[in-house]
Amino acid sequence: MKPFTPDDLIACYRRGVFPMAESRDDEGVFLVDPDWRCILPLDKFHISRRLKRTLRSGVFTFTIDRDFVTVIDGCAAPGPDREDTWINPDIRALYLELHARGMAHSVETRLDGVLVGGLYGVALGGAFFGESMFSRTTDASKAALIHLVARLRYGGFRLLDAQFMTAHLEQFGAQTLPRRIFHALLGLALDTSGDFSRLPEDAPPDEMLAILSA
C-alpha cells in the first residue's frame, strides 16, 4: 500500500476531509468526511465576560510556532477528559512535516513563561483547520483559541474548521453545517489568501478583543 504522505494530507484538506487514527497505538490513518461539520464563525465568535477579564488580566502570554512539537505532544497525551487520543506516530510525523513547510501552526499559552496550553492546526489559503488543543491549567486552551481567532480575523482568513462540535466549542458560538455547505465555504476560503503571521504574537489583550468585536 502506498504510504500516506504530507502531500496527500494537503490534498485531503483541500477536498474537505481530514485524517484520524483509532488510538495512539493504532497504525496508519483513516479519512473522515462527516455529514455535519463544525465551524467557528470568525465574525460571530462569542467570549464570556469572565474570559474577557481573564484575558485582560495579562495572566497569560502567547507565542506562535515556538513549541510546535511540545504542543502536538500535549494534545496527544492522556488527560482528565480523555484516556486516549487519535494522534498516533504516523499523524504526528505528518504534522511535523507540514510545520516544517510552514503550513501547520501552533498557538502556545504561557503562564510566567511556562507552556500551559495551546492548539495546532493547518493554514491553507484563507482556511484554517483546527486539529487539537490541550490545557494544563484553567482556561489555557480557551485563551489559545481566543488568540487564534483574533489572529485569523486580523490575517484575513475566511473559515475556521473545528471538525466536531463539543461543549467546549459551543460556548464560543460554534455551529454545525451540512457537508455540502461546508464544502462550498471551504472552496471560497481556499480561493483567498490569509496571513497567519500578520498579528504580532505579543498583541495586547485589548487589541485582540477589539479585533474580535470589529
The arithmetic mean of pLDDT across residues 9-24, rounded, is: 83
Determine which helix (DSSP H) or strand (DSSP E) holds 99, and give its type and residue range: helix 89-100
Q: For residue 4, tell me if it sits in a domain.
A: no
Instruction: Return the number of other C-beta atoms located less than 10 Å from residue 185's C-beta.
Output: 18
In a domain, 127, yes or no: yes
Q: Considering the domain boundaries, does residue 95 fall inside one?
A: no
What sign has the CA pseudo-torsion 203, 206, 208, 211? negative
Q: Is residue 86 included in any domain, yes or no?
A: no
pTM: predicted TM-score of the whole model, two decimal places: 0.93
Calculate mean pLDDT across residues 115-134. Answer: 96
Domain annotation covers residue 120 = yes
> Based on the structure, what is the number of domains in the chain?
1
* Residue 125 confidence (pLDDT) above 90: yes
Q: Which three cell numbers stand for residue 210?
A: 477589539
Please check whether residue 182 is in contact with residue 39, taking contact to mean a CB–CB distance below 8 angstroms. yes
CB 209 within 8 Å of CB 52: yes
Q: Is residue 1 in some structural domain?
A: no
Which is it for strands 159-163 and 30-32: parallel, antiparallel or unpaired? unpaired
pLDDT, tens digit, for every residue of 82-113? 545 668 888 899 999 999 999 999 999 999 99
Residue 172: pLDDT over 80:
yes
Measured in residues, the chain has a length of 214
Residue 89 lies in a domain: no
The whole domain housing 141 covers 36-80+104-213
Question: For residue 56, what is the domain's CATH number?
Answer: 3.40.630.70
String of b and e for 20-39 (b: at least 16 CB within 10 Å)?
A: bbeebebeebeeeeeeebbb
Strands 114-124 and 127-135 turn out to be antiparallel
- Assigned domain for 71 exists: yes
The answer to whether residues 129 and 195 touch, using CB atoms and an 8 Å cutoff, is: no
